[in-house]
Amino acid sequence: MSEKMMKKSKGLIAVLLGTVMIAALTIWGCGTSSYDNPSDQVVTTKTATALITAADLKGWMDAGLVNRAGGYDRVVILDVTANATDGTNKYNSVGHIPGAYLVSGGNGYFQATRAEGPLSVTGSMVCTGDVMDTLIQNAGIDANTTIVLTTSSGSALDLTRPYATFRYWGFPKNRIKVLQGSNPAWTAAGYALTSQPTVVQKSTYGVSQGQCNVNADMRVSLSEMIATVKGIVDTNNAGKVYILDTVRPAPPTGGIFKTGDLITSGTYTPFDGFVKGSYGFILSNMITGTTFKTAEEIKTFVSGAFYGDGATSTTTIGDANRDAAKTFVAMCRAGNNASQAYFVLDGIAYYNSSVDVKWYDGSLGQWNLMASKDHLAVNGANAGGQLAVGSIWDTTSLMDSLTWNLDRSLTIVNYASRVYGVEPSFAEGNQIETADKAYRSVVVSPSGGAAAGGGGGC
């Protein structure tokens, strides 16, 4: 009898050990602490920042990590290159890095028109979960994948918008790499491109709220941006938050940016100016094509970010305020340049840091629509705002150098049809993140069909 009990106990112990091992592997696959502290023999894609060199990528390729079937340390290369106006793509016509998977929509693939705040339609927002699922499954990305972003376009936007989007959809920064200099750097290093199409095994992975939480903390919604600016103004920036505006003209150029509507071409938002508490952060100082400056150089440019009207101001953040900063918020016109600023901070300058870097994808294209119907331009005509009188979403009081674009003889967009009949409260007005947190991945079945359910973690 005792012998049977001993056998039964050994069996139970074996089952428990197996369960623990499976759980450990599952945790590792979600990109959590097990990635940060594995044996050196397991993970070889650790880097000092999110930037990698052509030699790094070639080493991973020679080690058999690119598109490998299974394993804890695999690499997928995404070539984010838009089609030319004639429909051709350099991925095919010029060639691509061997094994790279084409994302032919360029950075536009990662943008969507979505509802947020008082508007049922807002342009150039973060893309949806089903779009992400389609990409990561077709590219063969799974829980153990390190993603390498590259492009033939010569535009950093094709690298940084995807980086910010993957970060929002829960991928840890140590699993997303950007090839410094992109495809030209690959060939400059003496490595060949190929015209051979890349064929990958689809994954069943997905972004699913149950296993991969949306990283809502890195994205600033409209309601959160309003609260952030009010906090800076009302508390003399006690929270040490610095808003970096990548489209503010640098001194001595001066002038106020003209924000075109993100949906109706040829029209402009009702107003422009500078968001209170924001600093001009000029990207040309940090990025040349798809080549990025070093962490220390980027931090120097942060210190030099300037405040004021963009023409006469010499006030900058300075080293002391930069080093005391707890949060940086990157903004621009349509979230694109903001993604570049987000990357150089999150992916390079503050890669291993407690500093919180955030991305306001709505930016001025959203912010500068937030005017109520009763505002008048200097010339006495209605300024073109469409929000309800007294709207809590009106941001005009949170602007410096407020300028009505009607007074600049610009055609103001009529966005009345986008405004909800009953405006949501701030608590109800974060529709994008609410929807994304509730999203459940549609995973690919082994037979190639689709089935609803959790798609793994990231």
Window from 6-10, 77-81, 216-220 with minimum mean pLDDT: 6-10
Q: Is the pLDDT score of 55 beyond 90?
A: yes
Architecture per CATH, 220-425: 3-Layer(aba) Sandwich (3.40)
Residue 312 burial (10 A CB sphere; 0-12, 13-18, 19+): exposed
Instruction: Give the count of beta carbons closer than 10 Å to the beta carbon of residue 235.
Output: 10
Asked whether 29 and 143 are in contact (CB, 8 A), the reply is yes
Return the structure tokens found at 86.
Answer: 């004639």
**Higher pLDDT pick, 242 / 19:** 242
Residue-range domain boundaries for the chain? 42-207, 220-425
Average pLDDT, the chain: 88
Q: Is the pLDDT score of 52 beyond 50?
A: yes
Q: What are 343-379's pLDDT values in tens digits?
A: 999 999 999 999 999 999 999 999 999 999 999 999 9
Q: Is the pLDDT score of 147 beyond 70?
A: yes
Mean pLDDT, residues 249-253 taken together: 71
Tell me the C-alpha distance between 448 and 458, whole Å.
Answer: 22
Q: How confident is residue 252, by pLDDT bands cut at 50, 70 and 90?
A: low
Q: How confident is residue 21, by pLDDT bands cut at 50, 70 and 90?
A: very low
Instruction: Report pLDDT for 218.
Output: 97
> Can you give the three-state secondary structure of the chain, one letter per residue?
CHHHHHHHHHHHHHHHHHHHHHHHHHHHHCCCHHHHCCCCCCCCCCCCCCEECHHHHHHHHHCCCECCCCCCCEEEEEEECCCCCCCCCHHHHCCECCCCEEECCHHHHHEEEEEECCEEEEEEEECCHHHHHHHHHHCCCCCCEEEEEECCCCCCHHHHHHHHHHHHCCCCHHHEEEECCHHHHHHHCCCCCECCCCCCCCCCCCCCCCCCCCCHHHECCHHHHHHHHHHHHHCCCCCCEEEEECCCCCCCCCCCCCCECCCCCCCECCEEEEECCEEECCHHHCEECCEECCHHHHHHHHHCCEECCCCCCCEECHHHHHHHCCEEEEECCCCHHHHHHHHHHHHHHCCCCCCEEEECCCHHHHHCCCCECCCECCCCCECCCCECCCCCCCCHHHEEEEEEHHHHCCCECCCHHHECCCCCCCCCCCHHHHHHHHCCCEEECCCCCEEECCCCCC
Q: Is the pLDDT score of 449 beyond 90?
A: no
Asked whether 273 and 400 are in contact (CB, 8 A), the reply is yes
Q: How far is C-alpha 304 from the geometric centre of its chain's CA atoms?
A: 24
Q: What are 273-285's pLDDT values in tens digits?
A: 999 999 999 999 8
Give Cβ neighbours of residue 222 (< 8 Å, ≥ 6 apart). 116, 117, 362, 366, 367, 370, 393, 429, 430
Q: How confident is residue 37, by pLDDT bands cut at 50, 70 and 90?
A: low
Instruction: Report pLDDT for 73.
Output: 86
Half-sphere exposure (Cβ direction) of 354: Cα atoms closer than 13 Å: 4
Q: What are 158-213's pLDDT values in tens digits?
A: 999 999 999 999 999 999 999 999 999 999 999 999 999 899 999 988 887 445 57
Mean pLDDT, residues 386-407 taken together: 97
Tell me the C-alpha distance between 97 and 57, whole Å.
Answer: 10
For residue 146, give the nearest of 33, 68, 247, 213 by alpha carbon: 68
Mean pLDDT, residues 224-249 taken together: 96
For residue 146, give the nearest of 238, 247, 79, 78 by alpha carbon: 78
Instruction: Report pLDDT for 143.
Output: 86
Q: Is the pLDDT score of 453 beyond 60?
A: no
Which option is the CATH number for 42-207: 3.40.250.10, 1.10.10.10, 3.30.565.10, 3.40.1380.10? Answer: 3.40.250.10
Tell me the C-alpha distance between 305 and 415, whole Å.
Answer: 33
Residue type (1 letter), 355: V
Q: What is the pTM of this model?
A: 0.89
For residue 418, give the nearest of 386, 394, 388, 396 by alpha carbon: 386
Left if phi > 0, otherwise alpha if psi is -120 to 50, otherwise beta: which for 235?
alpha
